[in-house]
Amino acid sequence: MRLTRTKAVLAAAAAAAAVIGGVAVVPSTASTAQAAEATPAAAPAAGSGGLRVAYFDQWSIYANAYYLKNVDAIANNIDYLLYDFTNIDPTNLTCFEATKASDSGPDGEKNPNAGDGAGDQFADYQKSFGADISVNGTADTWNQPIAGNFHQLQLLKAKHPNLKVLMSIGGWTYSKYFSDAAATDASRKKLVSSCIDMFIKGNIPAAGGYGGPGTAAGIFDGFDIDWEYPASNAGHLGNHYSPNDTANLTALLGEFRSELDALGGKHYAVSAALPGGQDKIAKIQTDKIHQYMDFADVMTYDMHGAWDATGPTNFQDPLYPSPNDPSTAIPPGTEKYNTDSVMKAYTQGSPAYGIPGGFPANKLTLGIPFYYRGWTGVPAGSNHGLYQTATGPTAGKANSGNVPGIAMYKELSGLVDNPSTTFWDPVSQSAWFYDGTNFYGGSSTQSIKARTDYIHCNGYAGAMMFSLYDLDPASTLFNAVVNGLAAPTSGCSGPPTSTTTTPPTSTTTTTTTTTTTTTTTPPGNCSAAAWNAATAYSGGAVVSYNGHSYTAKWWTQGETPGSASVWTDNGPCNGGGTTTTPPTGNCPTPWNSGTAYSGGAVISYNGHKWTAKWWTQGDTPGSASVWTDNGAC
């Protein structure tokens, strides 16, 4: 199941197997930190690098016996829970409910019709939960309106009223008909209205004694669009795609935003899972799609795996590029798969791949995998199995659906975060795990801290976790993410640089990495430059705003001093400037980055009057297309 339903980002063909030196193998510090991270700390508010998004897999209640009752213990530290996945009906091109298994596992990859008409209506709202696995400890009864995961979500939200739940559409196996459903204005309206009718208005079909009009109302707070992949043949075998998908994805997101806003009342969220490879990012309009979304989750994982059965072994989710990476560059450019290049492609663009950029950093989350990709028959070589040949994927594990090359954290007990089998590369800021034969790439508590620091230093919204299905009973990796998002960084200095390489004396190659941290001393008065919403500030930067001096705790852009936790108020000062002109008699209430505004809301900013085109929060007037400038006031 993991192989077919995981958000795969298939890597470019790897170069011939080679033994590459120059990779640092240093003891992991994660094992000593693990005990301290057992209890999650309170995370900062969303919008300041603390957004916490997690997927709950529909099928996790089967072999893995992971229920929403398990999520109850950690739900206070989740902002958005994405329930994956619902499918698109191949005949009607609508959202629908069905009880039909997909052809999952390795054989499903060879079947172009693996997901046609598939769905799990039983898991959604027909399965009865006993008191032992129910969120509130009460068993389901025969005459309640709905049962299954949907009822458990009702119970979970009742206990955690701040939790938002989105229905995720598509995924690896269920993306086949996105291209058809998004092809015309009429087809987009048909898909969106059907999804809203079923999952927002709650009109799920009556079946198995449950369901019917309105019975699922109030469960879902919006939609997550997981189209893998628009205008690309890199998705599941048999997926439909067209060059028109590029513009049609933008139009589809706009249709979801428009129809959800038309419902009135509460705000309904729109999010999307976005690809983690420049070849696929080039097929979407990064400069346009963000205006319709509350946030987007970048699938910064599955960059390497045992689909390259004989290797070379590699990191699943390298944070930074390494000169020692033997994989082939992504055509037609020279870049290789790594998280930093992917995230910057969204925000800054990439001319080599024709990517325009323009996606606001504070609407992007970085994807962190809770599962591992592995090879077996791997010789130690010069770097404890890294960049070595293999005889094939690791043996499948029971809880992971017996899919070769995949394992969960709890299935690798004794290997992950064990100092004798966990290794760290300070150049790519990534971990790997090697027992002398088996090699796995994936998350450690140390690699997660590097990524949460990266999120803060670059002004991203937060982290997306895929998925809760893979957690151990102690939720070790989840707690590492939550604590990392809540903690200050140890400094922001960009990607590490390898400066010295010592040849190995046995099996270990050591690289010395040099980093530089710059600290700015706050001035005694407002001699610091006035804060500007368009300027990117690093941690330690000092600005003046509304007569006060402020120091940035970490990287930030567009977050207003005094209304965002990234800024420390150093107190009043003299002689400083401000970028905001207080409203005059005709100016409405000043804009506040922490306030959520609906379409039509009117505010003042920098002496001008502004009107919101649609729902927005944290988008600065004058630097975001959501605001219309009505002129001076």
Residues linked to residue 207 through DSSP beta bridges, in sequence order: 210
Which strands make up the sheet holding 608-612, listed edge to edge?
Answer: 602-605, 608-612, 627-632
CA 410 – CA 156 distance, rounded (Å): 24
Question: Which distant-in-sequence residues (6+ apart) come within 8 Å of 164 by Cβ?
Answer: 79, 80, 81, 221, 222, 269
CA 321 – CA 548 distance, rounded (Å): 40
Q: What ranges in 325-458 are assigned the alpha helix state H?
A: 339-348, 445-457
CA 347 – CA 366 distance, rounded (Å): 13
CATH class of 51-486: alpha beta
Burial class (CB within 10 angstroms; exposed 0-12, middle 13-18, buried 19+) of 162: exposed
Q: Is the pLDDT of residue 19 over 80?
A: no
Q: Could you report the per-residue pLDDT of 61-94, keeping only the tens digit for each?
A: 999 999 999 999 999 999 999 999 999 999 999 9
Q: Could you report the per-residue pLDDT of 102-145, keeping only the tens digit for each?
A: 987 777 889 999 999 999 999 999 999 999 999 999 999 999 99
Q: State mean pLDDT over 96-100.
A: 97
Question: Which distant-in-sequence residues (6+ apart) come within 8 Å of 494 by Cβ?
Answer: none
Q: Is the pLDDT of residue 504 over 60?
A: no
Question: Residue 200 corresponds to which amino acid?
Answer: I
Q: Is residue 423 very low, low, confident or very high in pLDDT (cuts 50, 70, 90)?
A: very high
**pLDDT value of position 496:** 77
Question: Which distant-in-sequence residues (6+ apart) come within 8 Å of 348 by Cβ?
Answer: 357
Going through 299-455 in order, the beta strands assigned E by DSSP cover 364-369, 371-376, 392-393, 406-408, 422-425, 430-434, 439-441
The residue with tokens 């058809």 is 180
Q: Is the pLDDT of residue 180 over 70?
A: yes
Q: Which among 428, 418, 399 is positioned nearest to 326, based on CA atoms?
A: 428
Tell me the three state secondary structure of residue 597: strand
Question: Residue 144 corresponds to which amino acid?
Answer: Q
CB neighbourhood size of 514 (10 A)? 10
Q: Is the pLDDT of residue 633 over 50?
A: yes
Q: Which phi-psi region, left, alpha or beta, contains residue 462 (left: φ > 0; alpha: ψ -120 to 50)?
A: left
**pLDDT value of position 557:** 64
CA 266 – CA 162 distance, rounded (Å): 13
CA 554 – CA 489 distance, rounded (Å): 7
Q: State mean pLDDT over 604-618.
A: 75
Going through 285-429 in order, the beta strands assigned E by DSSP cover 295-298, 364-369, 371-376, 392-393, 406-408, 422-425
Q: How far is CA 379 from the centre of its chain?
A: 33
Beta strands 51-57 and 80-86 are parallel
Residue 457 CA: distances (Å) to CA of 41, 69, 463, 531: 20, 35, 13, 18
Q: State mean pLDDT over 147-153.
A: 98
CA 287 – CA 567 distance, rounded (Å): 28
Q: Which among 326, 303, 545 is positioned nearest to 430, based on CA atoms?
A: 303
What torsion, rounded to 10 degrees, do the Cα atoms 298, 299, 300, 301 define?
A: 170
Q: pTM to 2 decimals? A: 0.76
Tell me the three state secondary structure of residue 395: coil
**pLDDT value of position 555:** 60
Buried b (16+ CB within 10 A) or exposed e, 367-388: bbbbbbbbbbbbbbbbbbbbbb
**371 vs 9: which has the higher pLDDT:** 371
CA 415 – CA 413 distance, rounded (Å): 6
Buried b (16+ CB within 10 A) or exposed e, 179-211: bbbbbeeebbebbbebbbebbbebbbeebeebb
CA 511 – CA 427 distance, rounded (Å): 9
| DSSP letter string, 77-94 | G-SEEEEEEE-B-TTT-S
Q: Could you report the per-residue pLDDT of 517-552, keeping only the tens digit for each?
A: 333 333 334 778 887 776 767 666 788 887 778 877
Average pLDDT, rounded, for the chain: 84
What torsion, rounded to 10 degrees, do the Cα atoms 210, 214, 218, 224 define?
A: 80
Q: Is residue 607 very low, low, confident or very high in pLDDT (cuts 50, 70, 90)?
A: confident
- Name the helix (H) or strand (E) containing 223: strand 222-226
Cα R_g (the chain), whole angstroms:
24
CA 419 – CA 417 distance, rounded (Å): 6
Q: Which among 436, 418, 421 is positioned nearest to 380, based on CA atoms?
A: 436
Domain with CATH 3.20.20.80 in the chain: 51-486
Q: Is residue 510 very low, low, confident or very high in pLDDT (cuts 50, 70, 90)?
A: very low
Torsion angles phi and psi, residue 204, rounded to 5: -80, 150
Question: Which distant-in-sequence residues (6+ apart) come within 8 Å of 107 by Cβ?
Answer: none
CA 213 – CA 463 distance, rounded (Å): 36
